[in-house]
Structures are given as C-alpha cells and as structure tokens.
Structure 1
C-alpha cells in the first residue's frame, strides 16, 4: 500500500457547492486525527469513511474535526459551511441533514479510495484547505426505483441508498407493486406474496420482436427487510417513499385475490409482459377496505410523511363492460364508469390524509374525474404540463418528465445501446434539465417541491443493468436538483466527472456506462428495443 498524493481540488465535488473558496495547503488526516461534535454525521463519518481510510478517528474534547449544528449561523435548511485549514476542519450545519452532506463532501475530497469498503493504502490522507458554503436548491431531490418489474435483493437496495446519499439526493421512491409483481409482505394477506410476488417468466426486450426469458422470476421484502431499508436510509438522511399503485397496475394483486378484480371467477396469473394490463381493481367497498388495510400496514413500516398511491395508466374498459361497475357508478352519482378512477383514488387519499400523511400520485390523477383532496402532491411524468396544471390548481408538484429524467431510456441513438427503449436521453440532456418550467410564473414555481429521476426496470434485470442505466446520468441529475443555476455549467461538470468522480464510482464498484459508449459485456445483442 502506498501513501497519499496531492489533495484533490476543492472544487472537484459533485453536485457543485454554492460557494467554493480554495485556500493554500492541506489538512492531514492520520492516525492521530480526532473527531467530535453534536451531530450524528460525526458517527457516520467515523464508521463509513474511517473504515475506508483505515483510521480510528477517535473522539476527543479538543478535536481536529468538529461537526456543529448551528441554525443560528447557517440559515438555509440542509445547508452547511465547511472550513478546512492546515490545523483543523470545522463543519457548521443548519441541521442534521446539512451535517451529513458536509461529511459526504469531505469523503469526496479524500479521493476515490475513501469510497472503498476497506483500506487499500496507508496514509496520511490530505484534504485541500479552503471554504465551502453549500445549500440545496430544492427540498425534494428524488430517485424512483422500480422493484416490481425486477426484484432487487435487499443488499442491493441498501447499496443504492448509499449511492443516492453520496450525491446528496434525499428521497428514494420505491415502486413496490405492479402487474408483474407484489414486493411487500402484508400480515394477514399471505397470498399477496405467496402468489403475487412470483411470475412464470418475463418478456425479453420490447416491441413486436420481443421474446421470452423462459425463467421464473420473483421475490419480496419482509416487514423486517423494509424496516432495515428505512432505518439505513434515515442514517443517510434519505426518506423512503413507498408506492402501492391503485386502481390500475394491479394484476399481481388480482392474481392473488381474484375477488379484487372485475371477473372474480377468473383466475389470472401475475403478468409476464410489459405495458399496461387491462385488468383493474373493482370498486366495491370491500376492495377499498382491502387496500386501506394494505396502506395501514405501509404506514406502520414507512414513517415517510408522503405515501404514493400511483393512479397512473388506468384503463376503464372493464368498468364500462361490467354491469356491476356501471350500477356502482350510478349509485355513487357519477356520470360515467370512467370516473370511478377518481372516486377510488379519493377514498384512498382521504384515508392517508386522515392518518396524518400526504398522498402523492402520477399526473393522471388530474384527469381522473375528481378534484384531489387538499394537500395532494402531483408527480408530473407525462410532460412538464402536468406539473404546471397541478400548480395552477393549488397542488404541490414533483417534476419527473419522461422526456428528460427517465434513466431507463436509451443513452445514445446507436445500435450498441442495450435494449434501446424510449427517447435518447444523454448525460448532457439530463444536465440541461430545469425543474422549474421557463414559462411558469414565479407564483407557480413555489409549488415545485423539486425533481425526481426515474429508474424503471422492465429492461433492467440485474443490479449491473441498473448501474449502467443510472450512472453517470444520476450524477448529472443530482447537480440539477441540488446546485444553483448560477454555478451550473456542463463543461465544468464533465471535467469534474471525468477527472475525479468516475474514479470514485469505480472504487465503490458501480458498473456505470462509460462516456464513450457501452463496454462489450454491457451490450445486449439480439434483444430488441422500442426506440421513440
């Protein structure tokens, strides 16, 4: 093991801080360096970074590195100030979130080897002198991870949490249920996981030439698994927002309990294809009660103030064909069965709000035939106009348009991209996105809570495929969500990415897409896509 080289530049951090003032000299981190403070970030830095650099970072009353929660000095929520001299490091943060982000910044400045799980070289370790003042642009800096289409082992979800935190993202939206799989254990409803968590095989690729894997797939998370994920995420200052999608995208639930469907005497299988299943929930009071029971369990596992109800892509054909649903819509005073979509969502949202939580759902909620309960949040995915409509109607919104921040979409127009689906969405395209639409007045922009990148997994059937789709584009998105527009510059970002940050990802073990294109083993020759 060799010793440390020169310290990294103070401005090599991703996402880019608000203010960077480089100084002269460096602080030396070695076996005598001590640590103290009134923040949980102190313990996080000792456990995670200390393990990587192989130093004890002992606690001391007169410490070399000090974390201090000081809202009277740092007025921006989640903000921090980092001062590095040759003799000491002082971190002042508005809150625990800000202190953690300061610790993440220090880890980046220690270099790629500080991202490893165990030491690979001897110190001393050097940090550049100077000052950083930093705060986020948006309060919601999210990443959506689809676990329903392809199950991801718990250890990989925990790893994904670490990667989000390293980029100062603070929301992990877990898509736990869909037509192709049910991933959350619910006490008293065992068939949801005995049946709904497994499918016979999977569609391979997209478009008319798609094939089959001819291999069963499945898995689910116990309550203890999810509690562990939530706890681990909280240590990394991340809120886990669970999604139970209703009243569409429910074929796995209907396969488990046929009485939830509109043809209760027909036994469906968990769907093995991609797209939108025609099978939706019926609207009997018993079905509403069933899902209130499911959501009550979700509330007991996830302390998140926001819970996702889905609400997207709900075909109404079954309701319109079903005499029972037609009668039900008339009993409820609705003008047509299609409006059962909004009625069902309102019942679930009101249940969540009565429990002290806020509901978020996809922007089809605005078209569902019902006004949304006050406090609802709209995730604008079909384009940016959903968010503009939501803001004008008085709802908060999270911007996540598929044309800009869907990371499962192809990264180049060439034939070498594995399973090329969706729009071409390059690293530069992601970086150029602004979550506040240029045409929206400032009054509307205050309704934009932030932005969220989306990782759908129909064609991402392994953690390495998720890595390939997400990184390094998620690094660019992190800067969109965190950094002020005044300090953002793609050329500068690309320099920081290529000279320092890709080495950090490599050390962590991320199988990202190289900027010049996929490596031979990252391609999927013969697996068809569906470009747009």
Structure 2
C-alpha cells in the first residue's frame, strides 16, 4: 500500500505514479488494475447520470464500451452527497467503481477517471481498452476560484472554440472562464440599447502585426461580435461542466472601441476609430451623468445574459490626462470632495459597484482600482506583481491572484527565434512552464487565475498552443497547492501531453515549438 497525502515527501509520490494533473489530496494505491466491461451498468440518480456523461461519451467514442445502461447494482455507482462543495471520493476496485461527492465534486471525479484511463481512450475511434488502476482517492481543491481569462476583444474567437476552452478547464479542474469582452481594439458584447457598440465598435480596419510598439500592420480588417443567444448557450454549456462564465466590461480606460461608436462618451473632442495598435490609450470615458447611466444600462444587459454572481468591470491602466483638463471633472471633484485626480476613477467605479451590488452581483476590478480608492467590499484581481496581490489582500479585499510575470500565457515560452510571436517579446519577457509553476499563491488569496491576452493570438490553434501545457502548472497550484517541486511535477506534465495529443488539443512540446511555429511563417500569415 502506498498512501500519498498533500504533504512534502508524499504528494509527489502520487504525482509520479498516477501522473494526474492536478495532483489529488489523498491517494491510496493498490496493486492491480481493472478493465471496464463492454456493457457498462451505471447506478445513480438523474443528477449523477448527467455528471458522468462526459466519461460515457468518451468511452463510447473510442470504442471501449459498446453500450451503457442504468442498473440497480451497476459496475459504476455514482452517489451525490453533501461533501464539501467541490470535494469527491473515488474508489476503483477490481469489481466496481464508486464515485461520491457533491454535484460539482462528482464532475471533478469524472475528470480524474478520464485522466486515469490510457490516453488512447481519449481518442475517438481508437478501439483502446478501458483499463484503470485500482486506487482510492479523496480530493478537494485548495482554492474555490480557479480560472482562466480569454481575451476575445483583441481577436474575436468563435463560440465553438470557447466551448473547447470550457472542456480544457474542466479537464484541469478549473472552474471559471473569464471573458474579456471589450477593449480599445474591439467590442464583442451585444447591447440592444446601444447597437453601434457592435456595428461600429466591433470592427477595426487593420491590426498591428509586428512587435509593439511598431508600425507593421497586416492591412486586413478584423471584427466579430457574439449574439446574446450564443453567449447564453455558452453559459449553459459551461454550467453543465462545472464552469462559471464571468463577463468583463473593461472601463473607464480601454474604451476606445465604445467611444468610436458613441463619441459623446469620450473625454476628448476629436472622433476616434477603433484602435489598431496595442498598448495603453490615453482616451478614456467622461464622467457625465448620461455616460454613467449608459454604463449602468450596459451592465444591466450583461447581467441579463450572464447569470454569474460576479461581474468584472475592469479598472486597469487608466490615464488621467483628459480628466486633468476637463472642467466637468474639476466640478465633480469639488462637488464630491475628491482631492486627487486618480480618485475620480474610484468615484466612477463606485457608482457602478453600487449598481451591481443592488442587483445582487459581486463586482470585480483590476488591482489599480485599489489605488483609486475602491471599497474593500469589491473583489480585486491582482496582476501587476506579487506585491500588488499581497497589497490587495492586506487592504482587506477578496483577491484573485493573476501575476503577469508567471501566469500571462500570451507571453512566449522563450525568447527563441522559433517561438511564435508573443506580447512580451518586445519587452524581452518570456514565461516558461517552470516559471508558471514557480508562482505560489498566497494563503489568504480567494482564488487564482491565468490570462491569455490576444494581441498576437489570432486563431484557436495558436491560443491552445499558448495555453498548453502551462495551464497544467496553473491548475496544480490552484487546486493542489505548493507541495510538488518542478522535477516532481514534470512526469505528470509528460503524461498530460499524451492526453492533449489524444484529445486533439494543440500544445507546445516540452522540447520546443518546432519550425512550423517560426516567427517568419507567422508574419507571412500562416497564423491567420
């Protein structure tokens, strides 16, 4: 018997032998294995059957089972109980499988079963036999918020691929898909009250294609927006897989696309086009009452589509140049007793925070909003540095850790010439798998979240390449904690790469990207 618990000197043993990502809390390995029968009986209520469907679909698709049916005494028993919200217990014996937990916990247990199968079982039509090790696992996450931000504003991504992202998240036991829906370069969220946000703000005339800053453009228009029906469908699809979709409307900066559609919202007098370059724009929205009302209306429509208890309202990178010369802002500061220009942002965001709270939602902001004086009842996503994350926690905010140096997965893996172009190249910044794994989430953090910003991510294949396998490192830290060393983690990553291959998910090999991802090919348009 080899019992492995989440403590130094033993958790790594489970990771080495089972090669699960993320590693489980408690493992009791038994000698031997079991083959699933071709006709599989399942015992469980309707909720349990729904939770186990991903496993059944996978087994049917690969040909490991011919059929399954509900049975009073099935080979697989699923029990929904009152274990902690995401905890589960799994026992695989030589004559049966027992999986129990809450609804969400059982879904995580199903993902563990999928990962324990031979990787060939994850490939449709493989004809692989479904053989599982005999083992007992008791597992639960360290953090309740384990997420990934996908930037669909810089480059529009189809809903079909976002569904694949949901599957990736579930496979890694991550439970939040954070959709960055708006930015200077594009507005993807449909708003009935302001249709020009998508008819005008969703499309730019061309895109910067070389390193930023620069003047190399592709000369091709880019656009796209979602319908409310598509987004609601995505939310439902994610919910069925234990993933919550959290929308973000980024403000009061990063609003050039919105101002291009509705110039009266801007702080400057000159009309704007949807931005074609990257970086921080000095153009931000104004503080007029009618503009604030428009933002409330936008958030109302966002809440109508997304049922998440959380709504992200941005707050990062807000230059105050236009506010400093605004008579309206000067009047506001005098009326509200605001003594520092940066606290105008705090005032504006507080108006929207109160609106969201009145609707029963929890607002989330980027960590700069802490400097702007936002209240401690607001959740903060810390990104600028580990120190900024620690400061938000110390100030009393529920805090999501998203350190750019470690978990911004749009950065290239290395600065080598064979890597696809990433946002950090012009800054000589790269984030390797080891660097992603190196970050240790503070004990007092509410959650952890990686980000894929899409300045140089034009296609689903490139996005998947940037995510995998670094997302596995994020999952390990967010679910399992900080016990494994990188060398102890690597065998699990190698096994995970085999699973990605079987699932058909593009990924970066550990030994490098290879010539098809060279920057030369990418500049020639192979990545479009």
Normalised by the size of structure 1, how large is the TM-score? 0.90
Q: Which whole-Å CA distance do the structure 2 matches of 1:403 and 1:31 have between them?
A: 48
Say yes or no: does 1:252 pair with 2:234: no
Instruction: Pick from 133, 137, 144 the counterpart of residue 139 of structure 1.
Output: 144
Instruction: Pick from 457, 462, 465 the counterpart of residue 462 of structure 2.
Output: 465
Say yes or no: does 1:482 pair with 2:464: no
| Other structure's SS at 1:366 match | helix
Q: Which whole-Å CA distance do the structure 2 matches of 1:248 and 1:97 have between them?
A: 36
| Other structure's SS at 2:501 match | helix
Q: Look up the match of 1:233.
A: 238
Q: Which whole-Å CA distance do the structure 2 matches of 1:49 and 1:333 have between them?
A: 65
Q: Which whole-Å CA distance do the structure 2 matches of 1:302 and 1:512 have between them?
A: 30
Q: Look up the match of 1:513.
A: 508
Q: Which whole-Å CA distance do the structure 1 matches of 2:213 and 2:279 have between them?
A: 13
| Other structure's SS at 1:156 match | helix
On the 8 A contact 1:108/1:114 being kept in 2, the answer is no
Q: Which whole-Å CA distance do the structure 1 matches of 2:452 and 2:499 have between them?
A: 22
- Structure 1 residues 300 and 471: CA distance shift in structure 2, 3 A: same
Instruction: Pick from 197, 202, 205 the counterpart of residue 200 of structure 1.
Output: 205
In the TM superposition, residue 492 of structure 1 has moved relative to its aligned partner by 2.7
Say yes or no: does 1:492 pair with 2:488: yes
Q: Which whole-Å CA distance do the structure 2 matches of 1:456 and 1:195 have between them?
A: 22
Instruction: Pick from 103, 107, 128 the counterpart of residue 96 of structure 1.
Output: 103
Q: Look up the match of 2:386.
A: 384
In the TM superposition, residue 78 of structure 1 has moved relative to its aligned partner by 0.9
1:351-383 alpha-carbon deviations (Å, 9 max, x no partner)? 111111111110001111x341x4211111001
On the 8 A contact 1:148/1:178 being kept in 2, the answer is yes
On the 8 A contact 1:30/1:124 being kept in 2, the answer is no
Q: Which whole-Å CA distance do the structure 1 matches of 2:449 and 2:362 have between them?
A: 17
Q: Look up the match of 2:43.
A: 36
Q: Which whole-Å CA distance do the structure 2 matches of 1:433 and 1:10 have between them?
A: 24
Instruction: Pick from 498, 511, 519 the counterpart of residue 524 of structure 1.
Output: 519
Q: What aligned pairs does 1:153-172 form with structure 2 within 5 A after superposition? A: 153-172=158-177
On the 8 A contact 1:210/1:527 being kept in 2, the answer is no
In the TM superposition, residue 337 of structure 1 has moved relative to its aligned partner by 3.8
Task: Mark the runs of 5 or more structure 1 residues left unpaired by the alignment.
Answer: 1-7, 437-444
Q: Look up the match of 2:6.
A: none
Q: Look up the match of 1:360.
A: 364
Q: Which whole-Å CA distance do the structure 2 matches of 1:301 and 1:48 have between them?
A: 31
Q: Look up the match of 1:349.
A: 353
Q: Look up the match of 2:125.
A: 119
CA RMSD of aligned residues (A): 1.9
On the 8 A contact 2:59/2:130 being kept in 1, the answer is no
| Other structure's SS at 1:454 match | strand
In the TM superposition, residue 210 of structure 1 has moved relative to its aligned partner by 4.6
Say yes or no: does 1:332 pair with 2:336: yes
- Structure 1 residues 474 and 62: CA distance shift in structure 2, 3 A: same
On the 8 A contact 1:205/1:527 being kept in 2, the answer is no
In the TM superposition, residue 18 of structure 1 has moved relative to its aligned partner by 1.2
On the 8 A contact 2:187/2:202 being kept in 1, the answer is yes
| Other structure's SS at 1:14 match | coil
On the 8 A contact 1:112/1:504 being kept in 2, the answer is yes
Q: Look up the match of 2:86.
A: 78
Residues matched between the structures, number = 501
1:56-113 alpha-carbon deviations (Å, 9 max, x no partner)? 2211111110111222xx4x431111111111000111x1111001001111111223
Normalised by the size of structure 2, how large is the TM-score? 0.91
On the 8 A contact 1:417/1:523 being kept in 2, the answer is yes
Q: Which whole-Å CA distance do the structure 1 matches of 2:42 and 2:478 have between them?
A: 31
Instruction: Pick from 399, 405, 408 the counterpart of residue 406 of structure 1.
Output: 408
- Structure 1 residues 20 and 489: CA distance shift in structure 2, 3 A: farther
On the 8 A contact 1:311/1:361 being kept in 2, the answer is yes
Task: Mark the runs of 5 or more structure 2 residues left unpaired by the alignment.
Answer: 1-14, 524-528
Say yes or no: does 1:427 pair with 2:394: no
Instruction: Pick from 183, 187, 190 the counterpart of residue 182 of structure 1.
Output: 187
In the TM superposition, residue 527 of structure 1 has moved relative to its aligned partner by 7.1
Q: Which whole-Å CA distance do the structure 2 matches of 1:160 and 1:246 have between them?
A: 25
On the 8 A contact 2:16/2:491 being kept in 1, the answer is no
In the TM superposition, residue 209 of structure 1 has moved relative to its aligned partner by 4.3
1:10-55 alpha-carbon deviations (Å, 9 max, x no partner)? 6121111112222122222232211122323133433454334453
In the TM superposition, residue 387 of structure 1 has moved relative to its aligned partner by 2.1
